[in-house]
């Protein structure tokens, strides 16, 4: 099932928000692998460059960490 995206707003932000929500609600717990560029592109029906931007944004926000050759994983959140 492909989630519906509002094409009047930046698509990458909508996909990033969806993944952020999944992290927040525990769908992807700490240490869990998040979908790859190819998987995100297929699930959301976006270009791979858009999916790359999503993962780069999530990494910059500290939500995921990338491990070369393994994928991206939910990062541990520092206690505030």
When the pLDDT of each residue in the chain is averaged and rounded to a whole number, the result is: 92
Residue 19, pLDDT above cutoff 80: yes
The per-residue b/e assignment along 3-24, b for 16 or more CB within 10 angstroms, e otherwise, is eebeeeeebbebbbeebbebbe
What is the rounded distance in angstroms from the CA atom of residue 76 to the CA atom of residue 40? 22
Residue 2, pLDDT above cutoff 70: no
Inter-residue contact 6 to 12 (CB < 8 Å): no
pLDDT in tens, 62-78: 999 999 999 999 999 76
Inter-residue contact 74 to 67 (CB < 8 Å): no
Residue predicted with more confidence, 2 or 5: 5
- What pTM value is reported for the model? 0.89
């Amino acid at each position: 099932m492909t989630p519906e995206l509002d094409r009047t707003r930046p698509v990458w932000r909508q996909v990033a928000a969806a993944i952020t929500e999944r992290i927040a609600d525990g769908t992807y717990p700490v240490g869990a692998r998040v979908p790859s560029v190819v998987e995100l592109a297929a699930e959301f029906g976006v270009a791979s460059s858009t999916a790359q931007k999503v993962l780069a944004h999530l990494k910059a926000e500290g939500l995921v960490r990338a491990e070369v050759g393994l994928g991206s994983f939910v990062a541990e959140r520092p206690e505030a």
